Amino acid sequence: MQTHTEPTFTIFVNNQPYTTSEHQLTGSQIKSLAGVPADYELFKVEGANTVPVGNQEEVHIHEKLHFRAIPAGTFGYATAAKTRP
């Protein structure tokens, strides 16, 4: 008799691979899986774009999904500094 095994997915956070069998994960769960501090900001990579992922926001997980996690407040700092009077 064959046993049914759950599919596993390899996702990447900051170019490091992590494996999960979950089909949905929140931003907090993704950061926890990757050992990223809870106060970091998480972004889903979609081609040349990055889309913010909130801590409670659910993401449909699929193979080779990429995320970036960075310290809070660092994204967009250079742009904000240039626009200040």
Q: Is residue 3 part of a domain?
A: no
Nearest Cα neighbor of 22 from 2, 14, 32, 44 is: 32
Q: Cβ(20)–Cβ(61) under 8 Å?
A: yes
Which residues constitute the domain of residue 30? 9-83
Q: Is residue 46 part of a domain?
A: yes
pLDDT at 7: 84
Q: Is residue 18 part of a domain?
A: yes
Q: Is residue 64 part of a domain?
A: yes
Q: What is the mean pLDDT of each run of 10 residues along the chain (85 residues)?
A: 76 97 97 96 94 96 95 62 42
DSSP annotation of 40: S
Q: Is residue 73 part of a domain?
A: yes
Q: Is residue 2 part of a domain?
A: no
Q: Is residue 57 part of a domain?
A: yes
Q: Is residue 4 part of a domain?
A: no
CATH number at 78 reads 3.10.20
Let me know the angle formed at the C-alpha of 22 by 12 and 54, rounded to the nearest 5 degrees: 65
* pTM exceeds 0.75 for this model: yes
CA 68, 71, 75, 78 torsion-angle sign: negative
Counted domains in the chain: 1
